[in-house]
Amino acid sequence: NYTSALRHFQQWVRAERIAWDGHSAVSERVLCAYAASMAGVYAAGGASSKLAGLRFWHDQHGLAWHESDRLRRIMKSVGLAAPASTRKEQRPPVTEAMLDEALNKLDTSRPFDICVAAAALTIFWGQLRLGEALSSTRTYDYTALPTGKCVKLRADAGGRLDQQTTALWLPRTKTERSGVWIWLARHYNDPSYALQHHLHANGIARDDPLFAYKHDTTGALIPLTRNAFLSRLNEIWRASGMQTITGHCFRIGGTTALLRAGVDPEIVKVAGRWKSDSFLRYWRTLDTII
C-alpha cells in the first residue's frame, strides 16, 4: 500500500504541475493541498493511508516530514466530506445460534468436521484472528501457527489436575511477534471438550499442526486451511438460511458474545489482546448489551 501511495502522490503532482524533484522533502503547503484534494473522494482511512505511505517514503530517505496543525485540520475535514460510497457496512458477527447450527450439522464421525468444530469454538471463544490458528495453504508454517504441544487442556477435559482453564499458546500473532497465551473458559458449547475430541479423533501428536485432520481414505494428516474452514461453515449456514461470513466475523462474534454474557469490558479487552479501545468498534447488538 505504501508503494501505491507514493505513486498516487507522484501522479497528483504531475497533474497539478507542481514542481517537485522526487528527491527532496515535500513542503507543508503542498502536503495540505494534496490532502485537501482527497476531500469528497476518499474516506478518512483511505486518505490517511496515502499520507502514511508518503511519510514512510520521507523516513526511508531521512527527510523531514512537515506535518502541521493545519494539515491535521484538513485531514479531519476530509473525513467529514467522505462520500457515502466509501462507507462499508459493518461485518456481521458469528453468533452463538450460528455455532449451534454448525455443531448440529457437522458430522461427529468425520475427521474433517471434527477439526472444523474444534477450530470454530476455539477461534470464537478465544477472540482469535483466523490467521493466528489456521494456515492459508497446506504448507504449514510451524514458526507462526500452533502445534499439538501448544494446547494445555484443563483437568476435566483431560489435562493436568491443577489446570483449571484450557490454555493455548500462539507462537505469533498480529501484535505479539514472540507469542502469547490464550485462555479458554467453560462455555455450554465448550471448546475444551471439542479440542479433546479433535486431538484424539485425528491423532494430533505434539509436533503436528494443531488444526489438521485425517484424510477420509488415505489417513494422511492435512492442515485445515482458512478457505476450507470457512467454506464448510458457510455451506451449512447458507443451507439453513443464515448469513455467510468472513474470517474476522469470528473475532467480532466472540467479543460480542462475551459482552452479552456480562463479562467486564476490560476483561474482554485483555482476553482479546486489544492494545487500545479499538475493540469497541466491534460491539454488535448494543441494545441487548445495554
The tens digit of pLDDT for each residue in 36-71 reads: 999 999 988 899 999 999 999 999 999 999 999 999
Of 17, 51, 86, which marks where a domain is finished?
A: 86
| Domain co-membership, 21 together with 56 | yes
Does residue 239 register a pLDDT over 70? yes
Biggest CA–CA distance in the chain, Å, is 73
Question: What pLDDT score was predicted for residue 288?
Answer: 66
| Domain co-membership, 226 together with 121 | yes
Kindly list the distances between the CA atom of residue 126 and the CA atoms of 92, 159, 186, 271, 283, in Å, as whole numbers in the listed order.
18, 18, 11, 7, 16
| Domain co-membership, 107 together with 161 | yes
In the structure, what pLDDT confidence band is assigned to residue 233 with cuts at 50, 70 and 90?
A: very high
Measured CA angle at 272 (ends 271, 273), to 5 deg:
90
Closest-CA residue to 70 (of 127, 113, 103, 27)? 27
Question: What pLDDT score was predicted for residue 8?
Answer: 95
Question: What pLDDT score was predicted for residue 84?
Answer: 80
The domain tally of the chain equals 2
Domain that holds residue 50: 2-86
Instruction: Flag whether 201 is in a domain.
Output: yes
